[in-house]
């Protein structure tokens, strides 16, 4: 959703939304740091957490019947 919205509101041939404020401000520093570095970093952190959670298993201990 965010990528599609950015594509149709950015200046260029795909621009469909011309409402202000525009997205040109996001292409300058320091605003460029947010989508370029922080978002992928947070996505990688989430993946690492999910990987560790899956590695632990379900955490449910089942008793076997005798």
65 C-beta neighbours (distance < 10 Å), count: 4
- Per-residue model confidence as pLDDT tens digits over 22-63: 667 767 778 778 888 989 999 999 999 999 888 876 555 566
Q: What is residue 42's predicted lDDT score, i.e. its pLDDT?
A: 94
26: exposed, middle or buried (Cβ count in 10 Å: 0-12, 13-18, 19+) = middle
DSSP 8-state secondary structure symbol assigned to residue 29: T
pLDDT per residue over 8-22, tens digit each?
Answer: 878 888 888 777 676
* Helix or strand holding residue 60 (H, E): none
- Residue 17 CA to residue 11 CA, distance in Å, equals 9
Taking alpha carbons only, the member of 9, 5, 36, 35 closest to residue 22 is 9
């Amino acid at each position: 959703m965010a990528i599609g919205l950015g594509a149709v509101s950015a200046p260029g041939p795909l621009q469909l939304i011309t409402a202000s404020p525009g997205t040109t401000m996001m292409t300058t520093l320091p605003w460029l740091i947010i989508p370029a570095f922080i978002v992928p970093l947070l996505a990688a952190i989430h993946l690492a957490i999910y990987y560790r959670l899956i590695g632990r298993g379900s955490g449910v201990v089942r008793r076997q019947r005798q």
